[in-house]
């Protein structure tokens, strides 16, 4: 969690606790000669506590490490499914996709093939996380487009004119 976010989260929790203390001990509050109703603190507690909890949950680091062989297979299948979803041209052009994780490079090795042609490309863990998050895999999209262009070029040179 970034320091500014941590400070803001702590401040929101403190304000929520102060509202709760006011409610619990029925502390009367006067602002500029006017009494502040207790419902303001109820609303203030719920609002600031909810914001603090949301900020805490949003920014708390999640475990994304791959620990077991079973998890790797699941993650690879999930990654392949997401790649197919984000890049329908893979299916449209009848490309085969295989994938495995290279722990030494901390990247997925993706192999696209059709017939006797094959392209191997690396998708680093961060890019894979973004793909699984539903974002377009830009580097991968460029690789797929280049591979398809190569196929089209080969196919056009083989056809008799």
pLDDT tens digits, one per residue of 90-103: 888 888 889 888 88
Q: Which two tokens stand for residue 42?
A: 């109820």
Position 139 in a domain? yes
Judge whether residue 155 has pLDDT over 90: no
pLDDT at 65: 44
Backbone angles phi, psi at 86, to 5 degrees: -80, -25
pLDDT of the residue at 135: 62
Q: What is the pLDDT of residue 69?
A: 40
CA distance 59 to 62: 9
Question: Same domain for 28 and 107?
Answer: no
64 within some domain: no
Average pLDDT rounded to a whole number, residues 130-142 = 69
Assign 136 a pLDDT band (cuts: 50, 70, 90). low
Select from 59, 80, 105 the last residue of a domain. Answer: 59
| pLDDT average, residue stretch 131-137 | 63
Cβ contacts of residue 83 below 8 Å, gap of 6+? 90, 97, 110, 131, 137, 140
100 and 22 housed in the same domain: no
Do residues 54 and 91 share a domain?
no
Sign of the dihedral through C-alpha 65, 69, 74, 77 = positive
Residues 6+ apart with CB under 8 A from 57: none
Could you tell me if residue 113 is inside a domain? yes
Domain extent for 140: 69-158
Residue 105 is predicted with a pLDDT of 87
Q: Is the pLDDT of residue 19 over 80?
A: yes
């Amino acid at each position: 969690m970034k320091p500014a976010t941590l400070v803001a989260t702590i401040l929101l929790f403190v304000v929520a606790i102060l509202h709760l203390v006011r409610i619990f001990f029925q502390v009367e509050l006067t602002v500029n000669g006017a009494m502040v109703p207790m419902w303001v603190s109820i609303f203030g507690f719920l609002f600031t506590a909810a914001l603090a909890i949301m900020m805490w949950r949003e920014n708390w680091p999640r475990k994304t490490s791959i620990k077991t062989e079973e998890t790797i297979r699941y993650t690879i299948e999930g990654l392949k499914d997401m790649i197919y979803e984000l890049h329908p041209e893979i299916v449209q052009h009848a490309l085969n996709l295989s994938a495995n994780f290279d722990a030494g490079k901390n990247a997925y090795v993706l192999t696209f093939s059709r017939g006797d042609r094959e392209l191997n490309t690396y998708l680093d863990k961060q890019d894979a996380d973004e793909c699984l998050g539903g974002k377009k895999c830009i580097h991968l999209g460029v690789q797929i487009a280049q591979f398809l262009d190569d196929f089209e070029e080969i196919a056009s040179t083989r056809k008799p004119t």
